[in-house]
Homo-oligomer: A and B are copies of this chain.
C-alpha cells in the first residue's frame, strides 16, 4: 500500500531530480521509501522556499563536506533542473571556501566538471 506522502514525494522527486531520482531511490528499500516520503514528500514539498533556493542550500552543504560526491552529483543535476546555471553552481562551490576551505571545494568542482562533460 502506497501512502499519500509517498505519492506526493514521488512527484516532487521527479520534479527536482528528473528520472535520476527514482533510479537512485528504487534499489534502497525502506531507506529509499523514507527519502521519498520524508525528504521529498515532507521537506521539499514545503512552501516558503523555492526549489532553486533549496538546491543552493543542498549543494552548499554537500560541497562543503567530503565523501558524499555521489549525492553531490545528484543535487548538481537537480540544481540544473530547477534553474541553477553551471556558472551559479560553480559560484556556490566557490562560496564554500571561506567556510570549509579548499579541499572539499576542489572535489566539488571536479564533480561539477564531470557532470558538464557528460
Give A residues with C-beta under 8 Å from B. Answer: 24, 27-31, 34-35, 37-39, 42-43, 46, 48-49, 53-54, 56-62, 64-68, 70-71, 87-88, 90-107, 109, 113
- Point out the residues of chain B lying under 8 angstroms from A66, CB to CB: 65-68
Q: Which residue of B lies closest to A27 (CB)?
A: B113
Partner of A95, one of B58, B98, B99, B103: B58
Known: A100-B61, A102-B98, A103-B99. A42 touches B38 (CB 8 A): yes
Instruction: State the number of copies, please.
Output: 6
Partner of A58, one of B29, B34, B42, B99: B99
CA separation between A98 and B25, bound complex, in Å? 14
